[in-house]
Amino acid sequence: MRGSHLKPSTSRRSSLSLLLALVLPILLSACTWGGNHSPLNPASGPTETVNRLWWIMFWMSIVIEALVAGLVVISLIRFRRKAGDPDPVQISGNTRIEIAWTIAPAMILVVLLVLTLTTMVNISEPKGTTMRVTVTGHQWWWEFDYQGMNIVTGNEMHIPLDEPVHIDLRSADVIHSFWVPSLAGKRDAIPGHDNTLWISANKPGTYRGECTEFCGPEHANMNFIVVAQPRAEFDAWVKQQQAPAVSDQTGLAADGRDLVQNASVACIACHTINGTNLKAKVGPNLTHIGTRQYIAAGTLENNQQNLMRWIHNPQEVKPENKMIIPPYDDDTVRKIVAYLQSLK
């Protein structure tokens, strides 16, 4: 029983290492502040403004906490009762101190109120925002409909750098919540109630977004990305997305196209592919699915292997999701996947 003979210094050292082991990962992970997926790593004017306010509040709290905890510790040490000490002087009320500790916190709160109100004004939507996107939350994916641009994407939003984009937020079923931590605040998508939000980015990159309101079994797999790109790149993307789906497939992809368009497989019941006879709006628009980075709302990277896994059995990847299809044989799946990958 060596453990029971530990010297005090050894046990102190082991509790210190335990503490370090617990705290160090948190400190280290804080170095990156969550990459492109954190309000502490802002990449837009509004999130930078909110982030500044957050840090001011953080340091003010640290100072106040240090002051209060410091006074408590000093009192504990300095005024500790020793053996034989008489009872201390009994005080009831001290008007001057009471006024001070009422006014000081009130002033701190007024400062924070002014800073918060200024921040709220500074992050309001700029006038004359021309680009508008209707974002609809579905169980469990996001639809992005670029108003007047004839572009509908699923789980992938592109925005031009340094330009505000107005969002009309809707829900097709239950309450969801739209959040891209690095780019904008969070807003609920409520059925029957239109909400709005605006979004922008001042650093190019791919930002992760997600649903932040529990909305059913696949709530955790209701992610999306926002790709912020310079104007020219964004325009090229727009041009590509506006084009109808390519139809000059060959080989396996052509076989897949025939299966999909002749309704030999279930795709036509739920999906749209612009320029074909697929016009249903139950699931995501697949017109340019070959260009998207992820499938199944950020659940899997978009590649051949994952597409096959998904079409073989979507319920295995995302249990209880709304895509319920018969089991297809390998050959059929391979053809469908070849066709989907050709949709660039």
Between 221 and 241, name the residue whose CB sits nearer to ligand CUA: 221
CB of 145 to ligand CUA, least distance (A): 17
Between 105 and 217, name the residue whose CB sits nearer to ligand CUA: 217
The residue behind tokens 């009831």 is 92
Q: Does 219 bind ligand CUA (CB under 6 A)?
A: yes
Between 172 and 300, name the residue whose CB sits nearer to ligand CUA: 172
Tell me which residues in 3-42 interact with ligand CUA (CB under 6 A).
Answer: none
Strands of the chain, DSSP E: 131-138, 141-146, 151-154, 156-160, 165-171, 176-179, 187-189, 195-199, 205-211, 223-229, 294-295, 300-301
Between 166 and 219, name the residue whose CB sits nearer to ligand CUA: 219
Q: Does 222 bind ligand CUA (CB under 6 A)?
A: yes
CA 8 to centroid of chain Cα atoms: 47
Q: How far is CA 121 from CA 39, 118, 124, 219, in A?
A: 19, 5, 5, 32
Contact with ligand CUA (CB under 6 A) among 50, 133, 157, 215: 215
Q: Does 158 bind ligand CUA (CB under 6 A)?
A: no
* Residue from 286, 259, 255 nearest 270 by CA: 286
Pick the piece of the chain touching ligand CUA (CB under 6 A) from 7-15, 28-36, 47-55, 215-223: 215-223
Q: Is the dihedral of CA 255, 256, 261, 265 positive or negative?
A: positive
Q: Any bridge partners for residue 209, and if so which?
A: 224
* CA distance linking residue 56 with residue 62, whole number of Å: 10
> x/- site string to ligand CUA, residues 195 to 214, per CB under 6 A?
----------------x-xx
Q: Does 176 bind ligand CUA (CB under 6 A)?
A: yes
Let me know: does 337 contact 304? Beta carbons within 8 Å: yes
CB of 314 to ligand CUA, least distance (A): 17
CB of 310 to ligand CUA, least distance (A): 19
Q: Name the token pair of 146.
A: 């670029």
Between 41 and 212, name the residue whose CB sits nearer to ligand CUA: 212
The residue behind tokens 């007047």 is 148
Between 184 and 222, name the residue whose CB sits nearer to ligand CUA: 222
Which of the 8 DSSP states describes residue 142? E
Contact with ligand CUA (CB under 6 A) among 137, 154, 209, 283: 137
Between 160 and 298, name the residue whose CB sits nearer to ligand CUA: 298
Q: Which parts of this chain interact with ligand CUA (CB under 6 A)?
A: 137, 140, 176, 211, 213-215, 219, 222
